[in-house]
Amino acid sequence: MRIMPDTEQQTDDIHPLFRDAPQSGEFRKLRKRIIRQVRAAIEQYAMAERGARWLVCLSGGKDSYTLLAALYELKWRGLLPVDLLACNLDQGQPGFPATVLPEFLQRMQVPHRIEYQDTYSIVKEKVPEGRTYCALCSRLRRGNLYRIAREEGCSAVVLGHHRDDILETFFMNLFHGGRIATMPPKLVNEEGDLYVLRPLAHVAEQDCARFARAMNYPIIPCDLCGSQDGLQRQQVKAILDQWERNSPGRRQVMFRALMNIRPSHMLDPRLFDFAGLRTLPERIEENSPEIPRLR
């Protein structure tokens, strides 16, 4: 179902998303920091192409609300020359408040599309009792979002993963997947026709939570995954929380490490030509005695 906002002319010089924003100095610093970090990620990873159309995925969580607000502020300032279409995929979870997001987006005059696809029943049917739902749920959701993006003429699917999501995924791959990998800020899907973008790559989860709370966004929790105990991501998150308590700033140091990789100091021969590694020719001075050869 496609819903577009009213075309009534705005009378204010600020987007409706920010009309009720707090005026405290603390919030202004938070907002400025988030906008600066989102802009840095967009520029650093060459996300924006002038005239492009982005499908901004909105789950109803704190992260996707923060993403939407940041992108609209950059667009309002003339710093993001793309069209934005917000999209919520209602996956048929029991008790999901289906009217919350459409009413919010309509009130905020944000162009949007609401799509209903009952992936919940598929996940419950296919995943054995006691196993985590995240992998299958994510694949089904991503497939539908790619389809919607194509139908809407979008060149990119934009997701609300933040710095902490990226770190947690890195350690999940390290601990459980046996590989060094994480969520990149920008990639091309397997079909090769869409970008997947993560403009919140530099933004801390705590800042998303503070921003969404201050803006009083109508948060919708994910009860499908949240109802399961012992998820690998929750375990990794607990480890990172403990490290952060023991050494404040540890998360940011680890995140910077993901941007400062030295292939020659890792162990993957596909990334660095160890076989072709050679020393410099020995420089023997004219008067130096010849070094005996080993027998």
Residue 67 is part of which domain span? 2-226
Asked whether 156 and 195 are in contact (CB, 8 A), the reply is yes
CA 277 to chain centre: 37
Assess contact for 12 and 76: CB atoms under 8 A.
no
Q: Do the domain assignments include residue 250?
A: no
- Whether residue 263 lies inside any domain: the answer is no
| Domain assignment of residue 233, yes or no | no
Domain presence at residue 61: yes
* Token representation of residue 180: 């060094």
Q: Report the number of distinct structural domains present in the chain.
A: 1
| DSSP code string of 98-145 | TTHHHHHHHHTT--EEEEE--HHHHHHHHSPTTS-SHHHHHHHHHHHH
| CATH number (domain holding residue 32) | 3.40.50.620
Decide if 39 contacts 28 (C-beta within 8 A). no
Residue 240 lies in a domain: no
Contact (Cβ atoms closer than 8 angstroms) between residue 54 and residue 83: yes
- At 140 the pLDDT is 87
Looking at residue 225, its pLDDT comes to: 54
Q: Does residue 244 lie within any of the structural domains?
A: no
pLDDT for 262-293, tens place per residue?
Answer: 999 999 999 999 999 999 875 555 555 666 66
| In a domain? residue 104 | yes
Q: Return d(Cα 54, Cα 155) in angstroms, integer.
A: 6
Nearest CA-CA partner of 73 in 127, 23, 19, 25: 19
- Position 265 in a domain: no
> What is the per-residue pLDDT across 159-168, written as a single tens digit (0 to 9) for each?
999 999 999 9
Structure confidence at residue 222 (pLDDT): 67
pTM listed for this prediction: 0.85
pLDDT at 130: 67
Ranges of residues in the chain with a pLDDT under 70 are 1-13, 130, 222-230, 282-295
